[in-house]
Structure 1
């Protein structure tokens, strides 16, 4: 099966810039008018993404049973809604980075606040996912606090989006580090930054781009799935506090729920008990993702077959 990173990014810097300029000068109404046919096009022509969306929505429905967020088995209308929410999430990123979303729009739901990170002399690692909108959380933190966040990204698409954002707002401060693998040189570089009180942001729901077999299996929504070990090994090497970070849009109000939780003062992966330690921390991560998927079913933006990846490996 094709690895997620080998899936061609459908979009370009200029396409993104045109949409963002339309938003800047036309506002939400114009942007949504332009966004609708774009999302419809990708939904119709993106066969693999459409199937992956339905696979996720239907698996969530089965896993939840009587507590399912859907009244019936998800079909194409649910898939289209999933795609549309992804488009709105991109719009929300823009809102956040140009200052239209601030602290007043965010409700803290976790055991830690960004101000706690600001007050701490120690840095740390924030492990997020493609569930919700990490960009909103980072933008709000960057506009309100001084602590630097170093974001590890694995595709050029993220770089294109942020380059386009800087065209609209030169004050956008995005500290991105594009990587293909987590090696010792990168770990040493990040360790120095964490020791200086900075933070590292990485997602935990994608397997390695260059080493897809470096993964650990854990049930997700009732089926075995492959998760990368890289973020957890990196956290142990950095010898710093580990946090989970999720930021999700309230489906009923124009607000965001921020889940920033301290899960370990330091993650240790002893050689003899490494697998058990990985399963324990990964179990916490997956449990929180599952609970949030049930509450925000359309906000997990992984448009490839998450479980097939495990079956093929």
Structure 2
């Protein structure tokens, strides 16, 4: 196991609160179609001048769909911009105009009925805010474990539009691991805790796995955490389909995780590889939903 990582934390956050507020005003006055057009123009600009994002997009698109032209990159960045904008609307509880489809909702219903806590394992693929927004609408209690280091501007905006934004947020602080105790409290209370498993933080244990035909390092923390808390893991995604549909899915991943002495590393590696396999399959379903704009593959 390696404890290196965190390259994505060094990526500079783009965008600003003023721009987002202007888009919100345009959405209210001119409608969603106009905002989509503006976001495409912005995406074209970033595809031209944001070299790191452009190269990362091309690397990923070539793997997932076998082509990576400039317009493919523009569409990729435009999808990210649209989902990021939608995140603000969803956090504010503005669900009108969206269509949500559900696959596997009965798993969440069974957990709620049994008052059983679980980890919802996702990725920077699509929108977890869509899952959280619908979960709150349907009375499922979903807490989200997040890194705030490189997303302070969007976080400030989310807090502005949703005063209760922090109520179900568990911020990761490597220097003060009390956040793990908060996760434990939520699980013991029969609540759901969402964790994203496709980025490795600084000093976080990781393992090399295969993803979309290449080698990447993914964290083992979600599986070690589930083993300690003795709770199940469900795989969850909210894939965006233009112009305004989110396909929400939930599938069982591990009912119980045991990490016996002598086989701990092998078991963690196997679980991480299984996650990578499913992540790759979901990425193929909606290729433009991949929002890791840094070089992930080794």
Give the TM bin, normalised by the shorter chain. 0.7 to 0.9
> How many positions carry a matched residue from both structures?
294
Aligned residue among 144, 160, 166 for 1:167: 160
Post-superposition, which runs of at least 4 consecutive aligned residues in structure 1 deviate over 6 A? none
TM-score by length of 1: 0.83
1:132-147 matches, within 5 Å, as: 132-147=126-141
CA shift digits 1:157-180 (9 cap, x unpaired): 545434424534556675222224
1:1-313 matches, within 5 Å, as: 3-62=7-66, 73-101=67-95, 105-110=99-104, 112-147=106-141, 149-156=142-149, 158=151, 160-168=153-161, 170=163, 175-181=168-174, 184-208=177-201, 210-211=202-203, 214-250=205-241, 254-308=244-298
Cα distance in 2, alignment partners of residues 168 and 184 from structure 1: 29
Cα distance in 1, alignment partners of residues 107 and 220 from structure 2: 27
TM-score by length of 2: 0.87
Contact residue 9 and residue 150 of structure 2 kept, 8 A: no
Cα distance in 1, alignment partners of residues 45 and 114 from structure 2: 47
Cα distance in 2, alignment partners of residues 48 and 246 from structure 1: 26
Instruction: List alignment gaps of at least 5 residues for structure 2.
Output: none
Task: Please state whether the residue corresponding to 1:101 is helix, strand or coil.
Answer: coil
1:311 matched to which residue of 2?
A: none
Q: Let me know the Cα RMSD of the aligned residues.
A: 2.7
1:69 matched to which residue of 2?
A: none
